[in-house]
Amino acid sequence: MSEKILMPPFISLGKMDQQPRNLALLFLYFLSFLLGLPANLLALRAFLGRVRQPQPAPIHILLLSLTLADLLMLLLLPFKMYEAMNNFHWGLSVALCAFTAYGFYSGIYCSTWLLAGISIERYRSVAFPVQYKLTRRPLYGLIAALVSWLMSFGHCSIVIIVLYLPTQAEKNTTVCYDGFNPEQLDVLLPVRLELCLVLFFIPMFVTIFCYWRFVRIMLSRPQVGARKRWRAVALAAVTLFNFLVCFGPYNLSHVIGFFQRQSLDWRVCAVFLGALNACVDPLIFYFSSSAVRRAFHKRQQKLQNWGAWLLRFWGRRAGNQTPEKDSGGLGMTNANYTED
């Protein structure tokens, strides 16, 4: 009994209970990586083209920064797959664990304020169009993006602090950024609560207000086309999904964990939902930028042409093989191939 108490929580659950969850997380992480990486690379190429133009709009700088935050998370997803594949054992170095966790969580929290900045830009563009055009300078977008990055990386430095915190109790090095001892929890839990308030709830309320006003104004103007109205509603809905579904459970675990004085076991599932944000953001890029829509439709056309070529290729091969079976000779096959 004493050995079971000293063992990490994920081991005491047993393989029968843990393995299905880990396999599901492994599959979902792999699927997120497979879908999110090409979509964000496509958006990155489109936004770099817009930013290189003279006097780029601040919103394109914010969208480019959001793409970089997504790519940071996606490039660190293989380490999350490694954890899920190894039953959440961490067989690598503590330094690599600190680097992975620091970059991953910084990417999540950088996205929240960037999404809020995008919502502010959208609201200002329709509520105060004249003032917005006069004050639309690239410098403002650059400053907003830098502030978002500094706030997220600054707050998430708690990851490194907790992992290297000198404590009297023995640290659990078999897992990465989990299995904390009481001394680590005394430092970590209050910072998590503050991080949740500053980097989740405040940008979420700002985003909800801005998109509520943005959609209301767009729907109230008869001169706005139906397609633009639909894109406005879709943009608000996808962003709200990001906050409530992708970021919500993970930040809720901070609040519950603070009052229960522990790091909750189901946080591993909430972390996946945070990573899912990198697959949802390309929809925001699509609804926000005509450059991304053009790039997407161009890529879609190439894929359709490639698929049609494959169908013709296999159709010719099937057509060439059919006469060979019917005639039983090679000459008939060659004759049909020449006709094609």
pLDDT at 17: 47
Instruction: Judge if 162 and 305 occupy the same domain.
Output: no
Most confident by average pLDDT, 106-110, 307-311, 328-332: 106-110
* Structural domain ending residue among the three candidates 270, 288, 306: 288
Q: Which two tokens stand for residue 132?
A: 């917005």
- Centre a 10 Å sphere on the Cβ of residue 151 and count the other Cβ atoms it contains: 19
- Which residue has better confidence, 268 or 303? 268
Please answer whether residues 142 and 56 qualify as being in contact, where contact means their C-beta atoms are separated by less than 8 angstroms.
Answer: no
Instruction: Judge if 206 and 338 occupy the same domain.
Output: no
Lowest mean pLDDT segment, chosen from 11-15, 69-73, 136-140, 218-222: 11-15
Query: Is the pLDDT score of 334 beyond 60?
Result: no
pLDDT at 58: 93
Instruction: Judge if 306 and 179 occupy the same domain.
Output: no
Instruction: Judge if 192 and 243 occupy the same domain.
Output: yes
Instruction: Judge if 151 and 60 occupy the same domain.
Output: yes
* Among 33, 119, 116, residue whose Cα is nearest residue 72: 33
Angle at 93 between CA 271 and CA 251, to 5 degrees: 20
pLDDT at 168: 64
Instruction: Judge if 77 and 173 occupy the same domain.
Output: yes
Q: For 158-197, how does the pLDDT look when each residue is reduced to its tens digit (9 = 90+)?
A: 999 998 888 767 777 788 888 888 888 999 999 999 999 9
Distance CA 292, CA 275 (A): 22
* Structural domain ending residue among the three candidates 253, 268, 288: 288
Instruction: Judge if 264 and 298 occupy the same domain.
Output: no
Q: Rounded to two decimals, what is the model's pTM?
A: 0.83
SS3 128: coil
Terminal C-alpha separation, the chain: 76
Query: Is the pLDDT score of 269 beyond 60?
Result: yes
Query: Is the pLDDT score of 333 beyond 50?
Result: no
Query: Is the pLDDT score of 325 beyond 80?
Result: no
- Number of structural domains (the chain) is 2
- Which residue has better confidence, 16 or 304? 304
Residue 102: CATH number of its domain: 1.20.1070.10
Task: State the residue range of the domain holding 157.
Answer: 2-288
Q: For 209-236, how does the pLDDT look when each residue is reduced to its tens digit (9 = 90+)?
A: 999 999 999 999 888 888 999 999 999 9
Instruction: Judge if 24 and 162 occupy the same domain.
Output: yes
Query: Is the pLDDT score of 330 beyond 70?
Result: no
Q: What is the DSSP string of 16-69?
A: HHHHHHHHHHHHHHHHHHHHHHHHHHHHHHHHHHHHTSSS--HHHHHHHHHHHH
Instruction: Judge if 100 and 119 occupy the same domain.
Output: yes
pLDDT at 311: 76
